[in-house]
Amino acid sequence: MMYVVFIMSVLYVVGFIGFSSKPSPVYGGMSLVVSGGLGCGIVTSSGGSFLGLVVFLVYLGGMMVVFGYTIAMATEEYPETWGSNVVVLSAFLVGLLMEVFMVMWLFSGEHELVGFYFSGLEGLMVLGEGGFEYVREDYSGGASLYSYGFWFLAMAGWMLFVSIFIAIEVTRKRY
Amino acid sequence: MPYIYINIILAFVISLIGTLIYRSHLISSLLCLEGMILSLFTLNALLSLNINFALSTIVPLILLVFAACEAAVGLALLIIISNTYGLDYVQNLNLLQC
């Protein structure tokens, strides 16, 4: 399982194709949740466990829950899946075929693309976990939001506060 | 490692195409917008971790904050459309008839 991160990124793209082919939004939301989980796995494999947790808690647990009950409010009686409509199925298959061809092209020799050299899979080996981090980068980076990035924090907090009022006034049609 | 970057940029392009192409529901396009933001977050997080520059880990966090605000406003607009027309079909948005 040395190439598990690459397989996770391929499944990530397949999940994206799954909701980009526009089935009923219920199934699109489910596909986005699956892609979010795989994205968390990709980020965590590079040592970013804090950022993976942020994806699960804030993105999936906050934003996707809101999307979920909004979709439940604005949904139809017979939701269409990937298999019930020819358009959705063909879009999904075209995207899947494109991804398969891209992976096959990537592994068919050496390529140079915008400064990156692709040769084989040796750049993807998951290295040993033996104490190479004395400083947890993502935790200290997240903590520096409160010290060096105080202005970021102030602007983000103010923006969240104002957007509550924006959402309320827009819903009351006072724009 | 560049293979993973290519896959995430490809995921961004796929959800960008999904945002720009409408089918029946408006909320599907909002969902593709959320997908764009997820792929940008993943890309930013991976880059910050792989160049070992801890301070730039702030960028994916702030991006997520802005994405939450944008999702809130987008969903509020969707609620108004759903209140007026009953459903969020894009064929209902036909006030401009030209």
Please check whether residues A87 and A170 belong to one and the same domain.
Answer: no
- Mention every residue, 6+ apart, whose C-beta is less than 8 A from residue A125: A2
The whole-angstrom distance between A146's CA and the closest CA on chain B is 10
Percent of chain B as helix, strand, coil, to the nearest 5: 80, 0, 20
pLDDT-above-70 percentage for chain A: 83
A82 lies in which domain range?
A: 3-126
B-chain residues near A46 (CB < 8 A): 45-46, 49-50
Backbone φ and ψ for A111, nearest 5 degrees, come out as -135, 155
Which pLDDT does position A128 carry in this prediction?
44
CB nearest to A160's CB, from B3, B31, B69: B69
Please check whether residues A107 and A24 belong to one and the same domain.
Answer: yes
Which pLDDT does position A160 carry in this prediction?
95
Please check whether residues A74 and A101 belong to one and the same domain.
Answer: yes
pLDDT digits (tens, 9 = 90+) for A43-53: 998 888 899 99
Which pLDDT does position A54 carry in this prediction?
92
Average confidence score pLDDT of chain B? 90
Of residues A126 and A20, more confidently modeled: A20
CB nearest to A42's CB, from B30, B42, B72: B42
Which pLDDT does position A124 carry in this prediction?
52
pLDDT digits (tens, 9 = 90+) for B48-73: 988 888 889 999 999 999 999 999 99
Q: Do A123 and B78 touch (CB under 8 A)?
A: no
Q: State how far the Cα of A111 lies from the Cα of A151, in Å rounded to an integer.
A: 43
Segments making up each domain of chain B, as ranges: 2-90
- Mention every residue, 6+ apart, whose C-beta is less than 8 A from residue A137: A47, A48, B48, B49, B52, B54, B57
Which pLDDT does position A141 carry in this prediction?
84
Give CATH for domain B2-90.
1.10.287.3510
Which pLDDT does position B16 carry in this prediction?
96
Q: State how far the Cα of B12 lies from the Cα of B46, in Å rounded to an integer.
A: 14
CA-to-CA dists, residue B75 to A76, A124, B72, B86, angstroms: 18, 39, 5, 15
Please check whether residues A162 and A79 belong to one and the same domain.
Answer: no
Per-residue pLDDT band at A118 (split at 50, 70, 90): low
B69 CB near a chain A CB, below 8 Å?
A: yes
Alpha helices, DSSP H only, in chain A? 4-20, 25-45, 49-54, 64-73, 86-106, 137-143, 150-171
pLDDT-above-90 percentage for chain A: 54
CB nearest to B15's CB, from A20, A124, A173: A20
Q: What's the domain count of chain A?
A: 2
Which pLDDT does position B72 carry in this prediction?
93
Site of tokens 């301070």: B55
Q: Determine contact, residues A65/B71, Cβ cutoff 8 Å.
A: no
pLDDT-above-90 percentage for chain B: 60
Q: Do A138 and B57 touch (CB under 8 A)?
A: yes
CB nearest to B58's CB, from A22, A66, A149: A149
Region A20-43 average pLDDT: 94
Please check whether residues A37 and A81 belong to one and the same domain.
Answer: yes
A-chain residues near B67 (CB < 8 A): 59, 63
Best B12, B24, B58 member to test A by mutation, with max A CBs in 10 Å, is: B58
B10 CB near a chain A CB, below 8 Å?
A: yes
Q: State how far the Cα of A94 lies from the Cα of A7, in Å rounded to an integer.
A: 19
Please check whether residues A21 and A106 belong to one and the same domain.
Answer: yes
Region A154-173 average pLDDT: 93
| ipTM value greater than 0.90 | yes
Q: Do B78 and A70 touch (CB under 8 A)?
A: yes
- Mention every residue, 6+ apart, whose C-beta is less than 8 A from residue A124: A2, A3, A5, A6, B1, B3, B4
Confidence (pTM): 0.90
Please check whether residues A109 and A26 belong to one and the same domain.
Answer: yes
pLDDT digits (tens, 9 = 90+) for A119-155: 555 555 544 444 455 667 778 888 889 999 999 999 9
Region A71-94 average pLDDT: 88
Please check whether residues A99 and A138 belong to one and the same domain.
Answer: no
Which of B37, B11, B65, B42 is closest to A43 using CA atoms?
Answer: B42
